[in-house]
Structure 1
């Protein structure tokens, strides 16, 4: 089974990914501010359902297949790097908005909130890149059943992401309100986020395929 050290390293990587702003964070903040914590939580449950699809796809061997084909791996790597650079540009471009500056959204039913949260995460390139490029690095065939290791890592990632996103849902209005009263910090947050994303993109682009 996976060692405690490797498990902690993976949990740390999962934490860094969820703290990096992306479609999930933007949607959950906007939905929580526009419709309240209850509807934000329903949206979060949809996001978690999307994580389960990613996890079982990885556990079933999709990750191993892509990593075994050099062209597929390289394509994924460059698409992921390009996507992170696009997110960085969205943060740094003139007139850009922070994830904590919520988008106005019309009220939706609980069923639609769940479905939109599910689709937002299912089609989230950041999560796909995580499961297809970072996730496999912590699976070791010599440490036991690969499927069991994949489930453990996947459930760890989901638990970390759920905990962080739940805090975002519960505090979205307060965070957005604070940034609204302190616009200079809102701008600083955007620039820090943009440069971090650009750095992640360059690191991903320079990553070498594992044997």
Structure 2
């Protein structure tokens, strides 16, 4: 369908990524601590909107490049494999202290301002753009009839799943903030599990025939 392959591996990888703590998670938890459910939900929706911007940019830019050259597609997949291995290695070396949520902003922000903050924090993070450029092509065939549409479909699935999780996280943070902030060791092992998955996926791509 649309040249998408290993769809369930993509869904599983995306779900694991969504539950992995990082800057967006800390932002959502922090706003949930400060402003309750409404603040956490606004942060989650802002982050999701930022991800949509990255998905659209990846689809438009990559489609033009990949339509011009099959070799460019292969090169991009190699670069993506190297990036996924590097990212996975960093996750495997994570520490519990890396996942402490920071709720340091002043509690005078409006809910729309929290939304804009979440969106801009995500849009202006070059690592998010690089991740989508590396991750999405791994599940699209080089001869796909419409690569841009395939990227958009995969990206939309990823963003919807991520936003649903982030909304649940915002609700949890608003109700059980103290316990969540003390769960650094658990979050560390979730992060390491995803790191191992990324390393394995990167190796799989690197060893696959082009």
What's the C-alpha RMSD, in Å, of the aligned pairs? 3.5
Q: Return the offset for 1:141.
A: 5.7
d(CA) in 2 for partners of 1:4, 1:63:
14
SS of 1:208's equivalent?
helix
Residue 84 of structure 2 contacts residue 134 of structure 2 at CA under 8 Å; is this kept in 1? no
Aligned to 1:26: 26
d(CA) in 2 for partners of 1:105, 1:88:
30
Residue 87 of structure 2 contacts residue 195 of structure 2 at CA under 8 Å; is this kept in 1? no
Residue 51 of structure 2 contacts residue 159 of structure 2 at CA under 8 Å; is this kept in 1? yes
Aligned to 1:17: 17
Aligned to 1:176: 177
d(CA) in 1 for partners of 2:8, 2:197:
20
> In the alignment, which of 56, 68, 72 is matched to residue 72 of structure 2?
68
The alpha-carbon distance between structure 1 residues 76 and 51, as it changes in their structure 2 partners (threshold 3 A), is same
Residue 18 of structure 1 contacts residue 161 of structure 1 at CA under 8 Å; is this kept in 2? yes
1:37-59 deviation digits (Å, cap 9, x = unpaired): 11122222221221111111121
Aligned to 1:196: 193
**With structure 2 as the length reference, what TM-score do the two structures score?**
0.74
Residue 50 of structure 1 contacts residue 118 of structure 1 at CA under 8 Å; is this kept in 2? yes
Aligned to 2:53: 53
Q: Return the offset for 1:84.
A: 5.1
Aligned to 1:42: 42
Residue 80 of structure 1 contacts residue 126 of structure 1 at CA under 8 Å; is this kept in 2? no
1:62-88 deviation digits (Å, cap 9, x = unpaired): 377498277776666555555555555
Residue 48 of structure 1 contacts residue 162 of structure 1 at CA under 8 Å; is this kept in 2? yes
Q: Return the offset for 1:5.
A: 7.5
d(CA) in 1 for partners of 2:26, 2:201:
23
Where does the alignment leave 5 or more consecutive residues of structure 1 unmatched?
none
1:146 aligns with 2:173: no
d(CA) in 2 for partners of 1:52, 1:169:
19
**With structure 1 as the length reference, what TM-score do the two structures score?**
0.74
Q: How many residues end up aligned between the 2 structures? A: 203
d(CA) in 1 for partners of 2:198, 2:12:
18
d(CA) in 1 for partners of 2:53, 2:177:
31
Where does the alignment leave 5 or more consecutive residues of structure 2 unmatched?
none
